[in-house]
Structure 1
Amino acid sequence: MDRRQLIAGGAALALFGSSDAMAQAVAPSNIRPDFLPVEVPIRAGIAPNEIHVVPDSFMLFWTMPGARAMRYMVGVGRPGLYESGEFYVGAKKEWPSWTPTNSMIERNPAYAQWKDGMPGGPNNPLGARALYLFEPGRGDTFLRIHGTNAPNTIGSAVSNGCARLVNDQAVDLYNRVPMRSRVVLYPKTI
């Protein structure tokens, strides 16, 4: 870990006080070296086993015991589509299917071809793995933390509201996160 990664990770966290054939399709991502996951120190007192997304820094943290976290770089929702709040992982899916919401189809009529759903697979927008975000009393929010095979979208605000990681990193995160884990999506400030 270099000094810049250590500072960036610490600064961001300071803001808060399958089938075998499909599995083989998850190739290591061709992503910038500074966008690779890295273990970073975090402030003491932050509970382990939680996801924290800091959208202004395009960082997702999986907190661990001992004031440590895995930091992943992500893409987040476009302006007006990102939703901050506190959620929990209500479902996890490998190679999930994708069905665009009515509002997604209104924004992009080309999505209408998938109004009945797109099967999971390497070309699906949800990628190799997805964590489904729920809220008490609301249920499924239609927000996801999911994979993508478009590494050029990491570090930008381009999605319909979800946080995305490249597929191999989505698989790594998926394997770490149990059901009902707390997820905090912090507000955008810039």
Structure 2
Amino acid sequence: MNPIRSAWAGAALLALAACASTEPTAPADPPPPAVSPEMAAMYGAMDDNGHHIPAVDPKLLTGDKARQVVDYWSDEKPGTIIVDPHARYLYQVRPGNQAMRYAVAVGAAGYGFTGEAHIPYQRDWPSWKPTDNMVATQPELYGPVEQGLEGGIDNPMGARALYLHNGRGDTYYRIHGTMDPASIGQATSAGCIRLFNQDIIHLAGQTGSMTKVVVLSEAESGKGTVPPGQPLPQPAPPDALAAGPVQTGGTT
């Protein structure tokens, strides 16, 4: 098992043990929501380049987390990717005032870049290596993998990674998959922009070399979701950072 996942699982068990009490047993959780055949096909288990991707738990597809075509008003040409980290959505522009919308998790690095960039290349099942700072500050978690991890289902980068560059070179901003599907739609402790693995595979398949990317600032959050001239919606509330099994900073 991946040492990162093992460490997180052990910590979770200790936390559960510490919270044990004589309180009455809580009622059983309600059954998971029904999943339509269309959604089951979108988020079902799949095999990709020798890796098995589990189905997304239906409980994680509530609300607006499933990818879908939405109304979207933009002057950008079709195919352009627009990242709205403050609303935790990514849009790929389509003709006719529409876009494909994907729910994303946003780590600290996801707020570190705004403006325009392009995608010179992408990688299938990229490798990952923690930064020296990550190893120094959390050696018990990252020390066992300080030499890096090969691509795979237990790799924080997930099934695909899109690399953003601008006129100054690599922005170190990434759009990628995840090893933690439960984080999607939330603010997280670290990392850039991550999607369900099924979604990053779908997005990567629609994204060619040199595709333009626009990352919106907080003041621009919601841009495109209402017709021109209407006030922008309020950005998502800055909720507490979601716990996760691993920070997805690092290098590839």
TM-score by shorter chain over 0.5? yes
- Counterpart of 1:156 in structure 2 is 186
- Compute the TM-score of the two structures, normalised by the length of structure 2: 0.61
SS of 1:57's equivalent in the other structure is coil
| Rounded Cα–Cα distance in structure 2 between residues aligned with 1:91 and 1:158 | 26
Specify every segment of 5 or more residues in structure 1 that has no aligned partner in the other structure, as ranges: 1-17
Match of 1:82 among 68, 92, 111: 111
Q: Which has the higher Rg, Structure 1 or Structure 2?
A: 2
Q: Show the counterpart of 2:162.
A: 131
Deviation at 1:91, TM superposition (A): 2.0
Q: Distance in 1 between matches of 2:191 and 2:215?
A: 11
Cα deviation, 1:126-179, whole Å, max 9, x if unaligned, reads: 0111111112222x2222111113121112121534100011111111111111
- Given the superposition, is the C-alpha separation of residues 19 and 173 from structure 1 closer, same or farther in structure 2, using an over 3 Å criterion? closer
Q: Is the 8 A contact 1:41 1:69 kept in 2?
A: yes
Distance 1:107-1:59 versus aligned 2 partners, 3 A rule: farther
Structure 2 unmatched runs, 5+: 1-46, 220-237, 239-252
Amino acid at match of 1:60: L
User: In structure 2, what is the equivalent of residue 4 of structure 1?
Assistant: none
Structure 1 Cα separation of the partners of residues 214 and 164 of structure 2: 10
Deviation at 1:26, TM superposition (A): 2.2
The amino acid across from 2:89 in the alignment is M
One-letter identity of the residue aligned with 2:150: P
1:29 to 51, 56, 76: 56
> Which one of the candidate residues 119, 144, 151 is aligned to 1:113?
144
CA distance in 1, matches of 2:218, 2:143: 30
Q: Percentage identity across aligned positions?
A: 34
Q: Does 2:96 match 1:69?
A: no
CA distance in 2, matches of 1:119, 1:136: 30
**TM, length-normalised to structure 1:** 0.79
CA distance in 1, matches of 2:213, 2:150: 26
Question: Which is richer in strand?
Answer: 1
Count residues with an aligned counterpart: 169
Distance 1:32 1:104 in 2: 31
Given that residues 40 and 69 in structure 1 are in contact (C-alpha distance below 8 angstroms), is that contact kept between their aligned partners in structure 2?
A: yes
Which residue matches 1:38? Answer: 68
